[in-house]
Structure 1
Amino acid sequence: MKKPVGTTEVVLAPGQVCFATRPTRLRTLLGSCVAITFWHPQRLIGGMCHFMLPGRLRNDQPLDGRYADEALELLLRHAHVNGTQARDYHVKLFGGGKMFPERQRLVSTQDVASLNIRAALALVERHHLNLTAQDMGSTGYRTIMFDLWNGDVWVRHQPMGTPQKNAYQKNQCAVGR
């Protein structure tokens, strides 16, 4: 996890999207939200979004990173502006932890976490993106660190009702297509 000299660190809040073209470490904290990391292995550029909801009914409003489809659209636009194509990026998905699992049993509707996971997977499929890893579902929150200089994503997952972990683990969950 050693950073190159001059590395910038950016912490994303819910609804934010960041794309960088120099050595950058992107961080975020996820509960039911989902983060999409987007990395170009040849150019060492990319970004991350932290979306809160699957989508909205838009009435010609500006794109908003709080929504899955719009957050991904913002990342795709950054890729285009930088002369790259979406299919050349490695994509990883994180989050979608159920934050109130005990309430799920009481209510027959789907929870936001599950809807966000489904939205993320559907967007990857719809845009024919190169999904290389995912760590979604379960309960609790995840802390994410994404290093643009090498594409590594470090995850610390804290499931509900378990003792706190202090160590990050490099995400190596490959995804079969």
Structure 2
Amino acid sequence: MNASTDRPHTPVPDIYFDPYFELDAVKILPGEYYVTGRDMILVTVLGSCVCACIRDPLTGISGMCHFMLPEQHRDDSLINRAMCYGNHAMETLINQLIENGAQREQLQAKVFGACNAIASPGGHKMGEHNSQFVVSYLEKERITVLARDLLDVYPRKVYFFTRTGLVRVKKLKKLNNTTILDREADYYNRLMEADMSDDVELFS
């Protein structure tokens, strides 16, 4: 599969060359997803948000989505921000994987994020809601979860290697977490520069 068949969410995430890993990479921001059959890296940074890395190991078709809130309710007027909601983001990612050649019964997932750094305005931990949602959703859809790193109090930087399915996760312990919920999207570009050279967990 070549780059022309990749299915990114609008706006199109930028492809860049990662000199550390010597591979093309794509940064996935909140409300975005990316599906590809190429050998590349899908990168994101998570606070209370969740990302799902889903892959068909036989075809190599892989994708990642990044969502902020578990579900969109019927009375929610933010229709144009539907990809920020887990139920829509997960459904869209799975459909695009299949459309690009993945077999549904072969899909495998790894899920990350949902830190409980701060509480939502309603007093509930948004990370807990996101964590419960993504685990329940994948169980309901009968998609095997090979690895998970959810909750805790630290934001995470996630590197998903599409050729092998390997995921590298670095917990960002030196950041000020007080802005994660209300300004998460605004500082993602700064978080993307976090060093991956140490304290990395591997999810193979």
TM (normalized to structure 1)?
A: 0.81
Distance 2:101 2:156 in 1: 32
Deviation at 1:114, TM superposition (A): 0.5
Question: Which residue identity does 2:130 align to in structure 1?
Answer: N
Secondary structure of residue in 2 paired with 1:64: helix
- How big is the shift at 1:81? 0.8
How far did residue 84 of structure 1 move? 2.8
Matched, 1:17 2:33: yes
Give the CA RMSD over aligned residues: 2.7
Distance 1:56 1:146, change over 3 A: same
Instruction: Note closer, same or farther for the CA distance 1:109–1:50 as it changes in structure 2 (3 Å cut).
Output: same
**1:130 pairs with 2:140:** no
Q: Find 2:90's aligned residue among 58, 61, 72.
A: 72
Instruction: Decide whether the 8 Å contact of 1:97 with 1:141 is kept in 2.
Output: yes
Once the 2 structures are TM-superposed, how far is the Cα of residue 99 of structure 1 from its aligned partner?
1.8
Residues 108 and 50 of structure 1: CA distance in aligned 2, closer, same or farther (over 3 Å)? closer
1:95 aligns with 2:113: yes
Q: Deviations over 1:135-169 (max 9, x none)?
A: 0011020000000011000000134789x984222
The aligned runs of 1:21-170 (5 Å cut-off) are: 21-58=37-74, 61=79, 64-100=82-118, 109-159=123-173, 166-167=197-198, 168-170=200-202
| SS of equivalent to 1:75 | helix
Give 5+ residue unaligned stretches, structure 2: 1-19, 177-193
Q: Distance in 1 between matches of 2:69 and 2:88?
A: 10
Matches of 2:125 and 2:140, distance apart in 1: 23
**Corresponding pairs, count:** 164
Name the CA distance, whole Å, in 2 between partners of 1:36 and 1:161. Answer: 23
Task: Evaluate the alpha carbon distance shift between residue 89 and residue 83 of structure 1 in structure 2; reply closer, same or farther with a 3 A threshold.
Answer: same
Distance 1:114 1:23 in 2: 33
Calculate the TM-score normalised by the size of structure 2.
0.71
Would you say the 8 A contact 1:20–1:47 is kept in 2?
yes
Which of the pair is proportionally richer in helix?
2
